[in-house]
Amino acid sequence: MDESKLNEITAMFEEKLSKAATVSDIETLKVDFLGKKGHVTSLFKEMGKVTAEDRPAFGEKINRVKEKVESGIKEFEKKISDKAVGEKINRVKEKVESGIKEFEKKISDKAVYEKINASYCDVTLPGKFHEIGHRHPISSTIAEIVEIFGRLGFSVSEGPDIETDYINFDALNMFDWHPARDMQDSFYAGPNAVLRTHTSGVQIRTMLKSEPPIKIVAPGRVYRLDEVDASHSPVFHQVEGLLVDKNTNFAAFKGIIASFCREFFGADRKVVFRPSYFPFTEPSAEVDVECISCKGRGCAICKNSGFLEVMGAGMVHPNVLKNGNIDPEIYRGFAFGMGVERIAMLRYAIRDIRDFYMNDLRVLAQFR
């Protein structure tokens, strides 16, 4: 019996151990080496062949092999069980983690749900209704006048509310002695500036900045030092009109004005041109329309005359054309001016001008 056998068995064990992977591999190893017929066990059986003298040393050598095998097996078993424990721990860890995750999800779901609940909106409920605004009757009257003249070929021109007294008065042939220039009648905004008392100044401004033929209407606010009563307001509106061309005449003027009046007041209304006086026109006229209310029979609105005065007008005075840098030997013009509140009152049978400014919806809502 030599030692090479011991080394062979040791080497064989180490090789097999290095390949072992499972618990059953190790059971096989145990049987193969430490079992009744195992390699280590059979070594002890060979003790008899060794001389009595060598026996203790040989026995010790076998024992060392046996220990090596046993400790190798033990180590492997420990490794295996460590791995199992590790896996177990991992499984617990995963369980804890997924539990926490689930809880967190539940919590956040709850928060979302609560948020939704707090802003709960019943889409089947009827909506909130807001009243839709509409044009003021003065604005819509101006718009309608401008629209009718637009169809007759007139465009819109505008001037400032604060006007020089030259343009508001002098250029319009209203001399120093004219009663409208009195401080009693006009709001002066400075030594040479007035709040315009009429829109007629826009005639001058338009002539100065454009070449004939001119065909404009000029809507705007005007100011007069009047006490407020049922038919007067210190602020009101006018629409001015001006036509300047080579061949225009009083007949053309009557045609334009009559067609506007029929369009605005009614197709079967009679229109009358009554001689009058304005410093800026010659000849001048006032235009009357058959009473809208009584259709000419006579009533309180027309003071039994059967007619309503709706505008002032006339052929533009040669001095006014000159002040607008237009040669009165070549060009002629006609002009007109109407009070918007006045004709709106006539048209809608409104008896008090203040109804336009008091913003009482019971009045204004009738004009939607």
By CB under 6 A, name the binding residues for ligand DAH: 198, 200, 240, 278, 281, 312-314, 335-337
Cβ of residue 339: shortest distance to ligand DAH, in angstroms? Answer: 8
In contact, 311 and 286? CB cutoff 8 Å: yes
Q: What is the DSSP letter of 232?
A: B
Cβ of residue 235: shortest distance to ligand DAH, in angstroms? Answer: 14
Cβ of residue 129: shortest distance to ligand DAH, in angstroms? Answer: 43
65 vs 313 by CB, closer to ligand DAH: 313
Residue 275: asked if its preceding bond is cis (omega within 30°), the reply is no
In the sheet with 281-290, reading across from the earlier edge strand, the strands are 155-156, 214-223, 235-245, 332-339, 307-316, 281-290, 271-278
212 vs 337 by CB, closer to ligand DAH: 337
In contact, 309 and 339? CB cutoff 8 Å: no
43 vs 287 by CB, closer to ligand DAH: 287
Cβ of residue 312: shortest distance to ligand DAH, in angstroms? Answer: 3
Residue 332, strand partner residues: 245
Cβ of residue 242: shortest distance to ligand DAH, in angstroms? Answer: 7
159 vs 312 by CB, closer to ligand DAH: 312
Q: How far apart are CA 44 and CA 39, in angstroms?
A: 9
Q: How far apart are CA 233 and CA 186, in angstroms?
A: 13
39 vs 196 by CB, closer to ligand DAH: 196
In contact, 313 and 242? CB cutoff 8 Å: no
In contact, 269 and 260? CB cutoff 8 Å: no
Is position 282 annotated in a ligand binding site? yes
Binding residues: 282
Binding residues for Mg(2+): 282
